[in-house]
Amino acid sequence: MNRRDFLTGVSAATLGAGVLPFLKALPAGAAPSDTLVVVTGTTINSLDLHRTGTNRPSYQVAVNCYDRLLTFGSKTMPDGSLSYDYENLQPELAESWELAGDGMSVVFHLRKGAAFWDGRPVTAHDVKWSLDRAVSVGGFPTVQMRAGSLESPDQFEVVDDHTVRVVFLRPSKLTLPDLAVPVPFVINAEVAKANATPDDPWAMEYLHRNPAGSGAFKVARWDPGQQLVYERNDDWACGPLPGVRRVIIREIPSQSTRRALVERGDIHLSHDIPAKDARELSTHRAVSVVGTPIENCLHVLCPNLAFEPFQDRRVRQAVAYAIPYAEIYQNAAYGRGAPMWGGDSFEPSAITWPQPFPYQTDYDKAKELLDQTAFKDGFEVPLSFDLGTAEWGEPAALLIQEGLAKIGIRATIDKIPGANWRTVALVEKKLPLHLENFGGWLNTPCYYFFWAYVKGNLFNSSNYDDAEMAQLIEETLHLPMDDPAYAPKMQRMIAKAFEDVPRIPLWQPNLDVAMRPDVAGYKFWFHRMPDVRTLAFVAG
């Protein structure tokens, strides 16, 4: 795609002036086999996943620019599309590994040919420094590592330059898979330490803008709020060389502009498109749409227990009965994904997760519950959503506002910029009532509960705190799912989630992507970010 072709397809007036800086990243005469353009409606706010406040759109840098010891294999979905396979661990930076006979440690052997972008070989010392960083910086990265029982630098040992031992604190089904998520990426420790300071020993400020990896792509340019440009690392040793030399991730907030670009064929892939567009574009001859159910994921309404009315469980239940679920599903989800309301019983018969909660729209029941509380005359509350997810958040919020008004709860809509959402909603946890989305990276139900129902953990934005729930999560998190104790404990956890409703599920979403027919290699990942390493062009 060259400059002339792009400007012929879409005028400056159509795109708006803010889109045109994107052209600066395209060299004159760039051929289709050279540059692939991806558009997204979300903002990348850091190049370092470990930095406090780094948002989900930024996670893609860890995926595309860094390597991990392990990765997940692939599987073919019923519609023929590709997805990661949680049950299939594969080597990435480590070419092989062996578990100790007692099951309490694992030894990884690094690829001899792996090198950082500056040409220095990747060593076990870099791996240890990087894992030490992940378990020490605090916040989301450290809690993610803790979920896999990776908690202390003492667990990571350098055997020799190409061999690392990881010592387990306890047997856990999550430890090895946790080494394949984006968080434990391997950094060029020499570069990082050269840019560290006594006040910043992990080089957080430097790596925020300057990745130092060994991954398939380097960051050639980052214009915050506009674009991120990847350039292929032709010396990448940890997987097949990517099929394109350059990838531009262009941030375009306007949904209609993103749709116009993909319909015209002027960009190659539009990532995480709205459900409405997915439904309509699926019949478009010049567009290929892939929709994949997001495992272990829910769109939810969160009443914050730090807000006085929501400290009464009956108020939360009243809210759950005052939601117009079916209308939201049609007008925000456009019938894509899976409904998560109308379950049969408050006593779950299975540990399938996610599963429908036993609430449905019943304003009489909602008012009856509210009348039993100190808030029978209703109250006012701000209802917040992330502008970066406005395609579903805004219609859902408006319909919830209407439903709550019918029982006397007066909700005012609060729209929060996407770049600020993670800090305000998840880190500070100060939004009284808000729409949220979380999908557990490790595909077990107890892992979802660990993140969303334990006090202080990032995605527990409701500030829910229950001693029995916390104990059940601790008892099941590392337990094998085929252990006889696992299912009954998990059923009790789900029953408590039904009763206490600190998170009110709306639906399980799809991740929908639209692309030109000449783009191949798209694969769905649990982190929901574009993995551009496998993308390539095919003959038309």
Helices and strands counted in the chain (H then E): 18, 22
Which pLDDT belongs to residue 540?
57
Fold for the domain defined by 85-190: Dipeptide-binding Protein; domain 1 (3.90.76)
Q: Torsion angle of alpha carbons 142, 148, 149, 152, nearest 10°? A: -40
Neighbours of 99 (CB within 10 A): 12
Q: Give every strand in the sheet of 70-76, ordered side by side.
A: 70-76, 82-91, 523-524
Fold for the domain defined by 297-508: Dipeptide-binding Protein; domain 3 (3.10.105)
Quote the CA–CA distance of 315 and 416 in Å, as a whole number. Answer: 25
**% helix, strand, coil for the chain, step of 5:** 35, 25, 45
Quote the CA–CA distance of 347 and 529 in Å, as a whole number. Answer: 35
Which pLDDT belongs to residue 25?
43
SS (H, E, C) 62-86: HHHHCECCEEEEEEECCCCCEEEEE
Question: pLDDT averaged over consecutive 10-residue blocks of the chain (540 residues)?
Answer: 35 37 42 82 94 92 98 95 96 98 97 97 98 96 95 98 97 96 98 98 98 98 96 97 97 94 96 94 94 96 98 98 98 96 96 97 98 98 94 96 98 93 94 96 96 96 98 96 97 98 97 95 96 89
Quote the CA–CA distance of 55 and 372 in Å, as a whole number. Answer: 40
Neighbours of 245 (CB within 10 A): 17
Written as six digits, the tokens of 239 are 């997987």
Quote the CA–CA distance of 357 and 353 in Å, as a whole number. Answer: 11
Q: Are 61 and 47 in contact (CB under 8 A)?
A: yes
Q: Torsion angle of alpha carbons 242, 243, 247, 249, nearest 10°? A: -80
Rounded to a whole number of angstroms, the CA Rg of the chain reads 24
Distances from the Cα of 132 to the Cαs of 141, 145, 149, 357, 461, in angstroms? 11, 10, 13, 40, 27
Quote the CA–CA distance of 7 and 1 in Å, as a whole number. Answer: 10
SS (H, E, C) 349-369: CCCCCCCCCCCCCCHHHHHHH
Cis peptide before 354 (omega within 30 of 0): yes
Fold for the domain defined by 3-65+215-274+512-537: D-Maltodextrin-Binding Protein; domain 2 (3.40.190)
Residue type at position 163: T
Largest Cα span, the chain: 70
Identify the DSSP state of 202: T
Please list the alpha-helical segments (H only) found in 42-136.
Answer: 59-65, 124-136
Domain residue spans in the chain? 3-65+215-274+512-537, 85-190, 297-508
Distances from the Cα of 398 to the Cαs of 109, 255, 403, 413, 458, in angstroms? 54, 19, 9, 8, 26
Residues 267, 272, 276, 279: is their CA dihedral positive or negative?
positive
Written as six digits, the tokens of 104 are 């309490």
Which residue do the tokens 């456009």 mark?
334
Quote the CA–CA distance of 304 and 309 in Å, as a whole number. Answer: 9
Quote the CA–CA distance of 321 and 438 in Å, as a whole number. Answer: 22
Are domains 85-190 and 297-508 of this chain identical in fold?
Answer: no
Which pLDDT belongs to residue 419?
81
CA 83, 526, 43 angle in degrees (round to 5)? 120
